[in-house]
Each structure stands twice: as structure tokens, then as C-alpha cells.
Structure 1
Amino acid sequence: MKLSQTLYARAEKIWPRYLCHPFVTQMADGTLPPEKFRYYMLQDYLYLKDYVKIFAAIIQKADDFEQIRFLSGELADTIGETFRTHIPYMKRLGITEEEIHSTRPHMDNNAYTHYMLWEAQTGDVLTGLVTLLNCSWSYAYVAEKIVERCPDALRDKRYGSWFAGYVSESYRRTNQMLIDRIDALSGFIDEKTAEHLCEIFEKCCLFDLRFWDMVYAMGGN
């Protein structure tokens, strides 16, 4: 069994909870209060700044140019997508440069990215990529499942482009490249290592669930 299949078996216990989370369901039916989405976009922007730093930490562990090429490409794609999509989206929501620069990450946001960075710094390339996988894979999963259930979600004037981005062919392809890379690197790992990677992935799944909770509550309890 491929490592990605084992990881997915862990995710199947948690990801369905994303689909019934009020933040996600209210995005799907267009009833999510816009101030909650603005808060999400700001916190996600801060998350992405740490996300690219995790790629940088993984690059330090790479021992051949092909690995460096792949990782550098993923890092550059993430930065490019931030400037192409995320920042313009925030501007359409009326988020100012001052808000962007003055907002600080919520402690749950910090805890999540610091955990990923620590695992990436103490592990190898495979470990680092597994820490990043849930964020990439679960967003594709959420968008796909929601659009299947509620095709009108794509046409919502406020949140439709969010779903469209994560069901796009380019996003699907990038996510699949990450999965394929993880499977290629994990071909000869032992059972103990596989279990450790599954534990990391499961923790990241739970951190993402806390992230949804945090942004829906806008940082409150």
C-alpha cells in the first residue's frame, strides 16, 4: 500500500468533519458573514507566509538538484499564487494594506505552523512534505465534495471563486504532484517510520480543524 493511501485512511476519520463545519457549509450556501471570511483571509495569508518557510526548511535537507528543483518550484508556485489570487482577493474584500501588515497570527495559527516547521527542521525531506500535505490535499477534498453536493457554490458572488480555485485543474495537478512525490520517497520506509509520518499527518488534520474553528469564531472562544 502506498503511503498516501495509509495517510488517506487517517484523514477519512477527520476530513468529513470539515464538510459539516459551519464555516464551510455557510460558504457553500452563501450565508457566511463577510467579516468571518475577511478574518479567515487575513489569518490564511499569515499561515501562507510560514508555509513557504517550511518549504525553505525542507530544501536544506535535499541532497540532489532534482529534489531542490521540485521543492523550489513548489515554493515559487505558492508565492506566485499568493500574489495572483490571495492578495487580490483580500483587496476585493476591502482589506487594506494597513490591516494586512498590522494583523497578527492567532495562537492556534501559530501553533499549527510552528509544529509543521519543527517537524520539517528535525526530519528529512519526506517528513517535511508530509507536514504540508494535509493543507494542500484537504482543501482539494473540501472543495470537490462541497461542489458535488452544492454546484451553486461555484456561482456565489462572494465565495464562488474560493471553491473554483481549489477544484481547478491546475490546483489538482499541483496537489497530485505532492502526493506522488511523497509516495516516491516513501517506497522503502519501515513500519515505525510510516507510523510516525501518519501521526504527523493526523495532527495536521486536527490542527486544520482547529483553524476552521478559530476563523469561524474570529479568534474568540
Structure 2
Amino acid sequence: MSNVENLIESVGELWNRYVKHEFVLKMRDGSLPLDIFRYYLVQDGKYIEDMLRALLIASSKGPIDKVTKVLNLVFSTRDKGLEIHSKLYSELSISRDEIVKTRYNLINYAYTRHLYYYANLDWNKFLVAWTPCMFGYSIIGDYVVESPHQLYKTWASFYASNEYKKRVEAILDALNEVNITEGLLSIFVDSVRFEIGFWEASLRKDPTVY
């Protein structure tokens, strides 16, 4: 059994609460209100920029072969992600300026600080903190890409793509080299909880505070 399978098994039902959250189910059946999706995209735009910065910080602390492979795949496939997100932003009248100027909701702020914290400590800790986002969205993409709603289908098409799958494979390959301790499991659990919280904050359209 791979490390990611062991980690998911260890968190039990919490994982399903993340990848089959109400937000995800509503994207899949097309019933998610567009104002909620728009709110999510703005917060997610802020998250992605911080996540990539945290990745660059953590990469200076990892094994060069694994780090290089992950970085190459993340940044060489970024154009496809940007292209899809640009379509979504255009459809929902989201500007780059809006993403920059909008404050974080509390969950997003805490989650991104969580990533920065472990990125500054250790590559393995960051990798475990990062995996729920990257691997989870691959599963979610495969599920939501069948949505009858064109916007949600478009959103999912990136996370269901071969380009994204290659990123995830490189991350999971690096993760398999890590000795998973109780401390690392705790970090993984925290990230899964943050992912659940991210969906819930979006459904509620939480106030932006930071």
C-alpha cells in the first residue's frame, strides 16, 4: 500500500467528507449557485498563489531529484490551469485586481499560513501538508467533470486532465520516499480539515478578514 493510501485510510471518513463534500456534490449535479462558486474562485485564486510560493520555499529543503521533477511538472503544466481559470474568470467577471484586493476569509488565511509554516521547516512536512489538496482535487476533478453545468465541467477539466495527473504522480512518488510518522499524519489530518473548511467557508460566503 502506498503512503497516500495509508494516510487516507488513517483519516477514515474525514477524507470522504472532503472529496464528497456538499460543495463538490452540488458542482457535480449542477445545483451550486454561481455566486457561491464565484466567491470560491476568488479565495482559491489567493490560495493558489500562496501555495506556489510555499512550494518554492519548501523546494530548497528537499532532495534535488524529487524536487526538480515536481517543480518541472507543476510549472510546465501551469499554462493549462491558467487558461481554464481565465475562462472561468471571464465568465464570472473576476479580475486579477479583484483577487489581489479581496481579503482572505479566516479558513483560507489559516490554511495558507499552515502551508508556509511547514514549507519553512521541512520538505517532508510540507509535502504531507500539500498532498490532500493536490491528490484530492484529482479525485474531485474526475467526479465533477461529468457535471451537466458547463462552468463546473470546465473547472473540473483541468483537475481531471493528464497534465494534472502527472503533477500528482510526481508528488505521490516523492511522498512514497517519506517515513510517515504520527507527527506527519497529524499534519495530513490538519490539511484535510482545512480543505473541508474551505468548502464550508465558500458555501457560507464567510466574511473576508485578513
Same fold (TM over 0.5): yes
| Aligned counterpart, 1:80 | 79
Task: Indicate the residue corresponding to 2:160 in structure 1.
Answer: 167
1:87 maps to a residue whose letter is S
Q: Deviation per CA, 1:1-36: give whole Å up to 9, x if none.
A: 532221121344212213553322221121211111
Could you tell me which of 200, 203, 208 is aligned with 1:213? 200
Q: Counterpart of 1:6?
A: 6
Residue 77 of structure 1: CA displacement? 4.0
Instruction: Please say if residues 14 and 192 of structure 2, whose CA atoms lie closer than 8 Å, have aligned partners that are also in contact.
Output: yes
Unmatched 5+ stretches in structure 2: none
Of 100, 119, 126, the match for 2:124? 126
Distance 1:55 1:25 in 2: 29
Q: Is the alpha carbon distance of 1:83 and 1:53 closer, same or farther for their aligned partners in structure 2, counting shifts above 3 Å?
A: same
Give secondary structure in 2 for the equivalent of 1:159. helix
The answer to which of 10-19 and 48-57 deviates more is 10-19
Aligned equivalent of 1:201, options 175, 185, 188: 188
**Alpha-carbon separation, structure 2, partners of 1:207 and 1:13:** 15
Classify the secondary structure of the residue corresponding to 2:186.
Answer: helix
The 3 A distance-change label for structure 1 pair 23 and 6 is same
TM-score by length of 1: 0.83
- Relative to structure 1, the CA distance from residue 94 to residue 104 in structure 2 (aligned partners, 3 Å threshold; closer, same or farther) is same
CA pair 122-164 structure 1, distance change in 2 beyond 3 A? same
The correspondence for 2:136, drawn from 135, 138, 163, is: 138
1:81-100 to 2 correspondences below 5 Å: 81-100=80-99
For 1:19 and 1:3, the matched residues in 2 are separated by 18
CA offset digits 1:51-70 (Å, max 9, x no partner): 00111111221354x24422
How many residue pairs get aligned? The number is 208
1:134, 1:204 within 8 Å by CA — same for their partners in 2?
yes
Which residue number corresponds to residue 40 of structure 1? 40
Conservation of the 8 A alpha-carbon contact between 1:18 and 1:142: no
Say whether residues 1:115 and 2:102 are aligned partners: no
TM-score, scaled relative to structure 2: 0.87
Query: Relative to 1, partners in 2 of residues 1:103 and 1:77: Cα closer, same or farther, differing over 3 Å?
Result: farther
> 1:180 maps to what in 2?
173
Contact 1:52 1:75 in 2 (8 A): no
Structure 1 gaps of 5+ residues are none
Q: Percent identity?
A: 26
